[in-house]
Homo-oligomer: A and B are copies of this chain.
Amino acid sequence: MGNIIIGQSGGPTAAINASLAGAYCEGVKYPDTKVYGMIGGIKGLLDGKYIDLSEYLKTEKDIEILKQTPSSALGSCRYKLPDMAEDKAVYEKLFDLFAELDIKHFIYIGGNDSMDTVAKLSAYAKEINSDISFMGVPKTVDNDLAVTDHTPGFGSAAKYIATTVKEIICDSSVYDIKSITVIEIMGRNAGWLTAASALAKGEDCCGVDMIYLPERSFDLEKCVQKTKELLEKKNTVVIAVSEALRDKNGDYVANSGSVHAELDAFGHKIMSGMGQFLAKHLGKSLGVKARGIEINTPQRCAAHLLSKQDIDESFDAGAMAVAASKNNRTAEMAVIIRESDNPYSYRIETADIECCANLEKTIPQEWIINDGTYVSDEFIKYCRPLIYGEVTPILKDGLPIHMKLK
């Protein structure tokens, strides 16, 4: 049947290791099958870095700890494969290594860019008539992958954000004075995580007052006006903003006046500071105490507060990728199909990787309401089931234990 190699790529999430656990647990079910892990994604593999996962994952408790370990336990990379027309050497090196380790199943857990890697490798395999299967497992807190109803990793990040926003609202409203709190949440082009702040609202919480998403252009003066109107009715205004809002010309708002913007390896602009920028601007314009809070890295690595729903699905998606690969599928990605909202149910299928790679799924415009300052009940109905359920952390000395694979 051939061996399996699993890699993790792109930005880490709190659930990416649950997919690794799922793929591993499915893989070891097959007789005479070794399950390897790439250290540092495909870039590490090109440097000959890999491990035999069975040397690290020996007990059920090990699997449980792996599921609760944040970020890529195998390490990750941001490495874009060259087009095979331009540079075949990289492909030849990889396939030599696959032959050496008798690898027939290549499982890559990652976001859009990682699915691009799976697509390229499977295209190369087809060209050289290789029988190696290449499968993708989606992973991104940003929830911006096409075809899948949502992405593994999103539910846990959404739960962390909604919980933290709810706590920050408590913190914001203790003093009997006018104040503005701007909470900056991840999401460059897709506002799913920022929208998750809407989940905070409930019987015991008035929720955030406004939500600004990258799906709509941002009008600074309108925001000042709306904030002013809110402050006439209430003491505490809390606003959730995506990290990279743009004005009607497409320019980053927090960057206005500046011509510098860093680029990552894929040419994406690296942005931050929207929360601080808007807090300062609102505070100055309205003469009110204002603070910007960037939820920052913890929103993608807070494994102490996982959504059980997300972890179960992430595990299942990893397992399904291996099962489908063993069933002779290739060039596909595990996708989550929502079967019903209430009670929520889902199944995992696989879909053509070409439909998934390099596409960004944003929030439907009709889910964005109140002149671009809030999200509709349809969003809540969509998002709420994904944050259900708790995973009880396994602790030692008062802190969660993490699995070390490298």
Contact = CB atoms under 8 A, between A and B. Distances in A.
Contacts of A396: 202
B297 A168 contact: yes
Contact of A71 (B171, B293, B388, B401): B171
A247 to B, nearest CB: 24
Copies in the complex: 2
B200 A70 contact: no
A170 interface: yes
Contacts of A294: 294, 296
Interface of A: 8, 12, 40, 43-44, 69-72, 75-78, 159, 162-164, 166-168, 170-171, 173-176, 199-200, 202, 204-205, 293-298, 300-305, 307, 384, 387-390, 392-393, 395-404
Nearest to A204: B402
Contacts of A164: 298, 302
Contacts of A70: 167, 170-171
Most chain B CB neighbours (cut-off 10 Å) among A71, A176, A393, A398: A398
Closest 4 A/B residue pairs (Cβ): A387-B398, A71-B170, A171-B301, A76-B174
B303 A43 contact: no
A15 to B, nearest CB: 13
A400 B302 CA distance: 16
25 contacts: A8-B174, A40-B176, A43-B176, A70-B167, A75-B173, A75-B174, A75-B175, A78-B175, A159-B399, A162-B399, A163-B399, A164-B298, A167-B301, A167-B302, A168-B298, A168-B301, A170-B301, A171-B297, A171-B300, A200-B399, A204-B401, A293-B296, A294-B296, A298-B298, A305-B305
